[in-house]
Amino acid sequence: MEFPNSPTRSRPVHPEGVAVGDRSTVYFVTVCTENRVRVLDNDDVHGLIRSGWKNAEDFLVGRYVIMPDHVHFFCTPGISSRTISLKRWISFWKSWTANRWIPGKGKLWQSNFWDRQLRAGDSYSAKWQYVRDNPVRAGLVAESNVWPYQGEMNEFSWSD
């Protein structure tokens, strides 16, 4: 149904996270390469992305899957003396990795990203399984456990 005079969005909205009780704030994030160029599925880029996340300490990355033209990952605010937004943190690590990207290869990342905060009732394991099966659905491997560009940097305690 169309609503007259409703705003149109060409970019995702990035609302601030909402803390609920003592539950961790966990985000599910997708970041795509510029023009969806397929350059991420190799060992060098896998290491580069992981290094970028390690150097961007304000958030911690949990489980992730790196596809040829996009990255899916879960993250949560880290323990830091300062608090920055998810948008600013992603901008930092995208810039960090892009500055170490192979010169002359062009822009690495799209300027925006997609995010969703996990809410009460969301299943981290179910979302992880869906993400983990992405290489199978894309026809890259027959079984998700053999895709080499996935992992877990930090274990999150999220009760399903």
Q: Is residue 22 part of a domain?
A: no
* Structural domain includes residue 142: yes
DSSP state of 27: E
Average pLDDT estimate for 25-51: 94
Residue 5, in any domain of the structure: no
Answer whether residue 17 is part of any domain.
no
Q: What is the pLDDT of residue 1?
A: 42
Task: Specify the DSSP class assigned to residue 93.
Answer: H
CATH number of the domain bearing residue 67: 3.30.70.1290
How many angstroms separate the CA atoms of 79 and 58, rounded? 7
What mean pLDDT is predicted for residues 107-121? Answer: 87
- Reported pTM: 0.82
Question: Is residue 33 in some structural domain?
Answer: yes
**Count: domains in the chain:** 1
Split at pLDDT 50, 70, 90, the class of 136 is very high
Structural domain includes residue 94: yes
- What is the residue range of 144's domain? 27-152
Q: What pLDDT sits at residue 22?
A: 44
> Does 95 map to a domain?
yes
How far apart CA 78 and CA 153 sit, in angstroms, is 13
CA distance 15 to 1: 25
Q: Which two three-digit tokens encode residue 67?
A: 């596809």
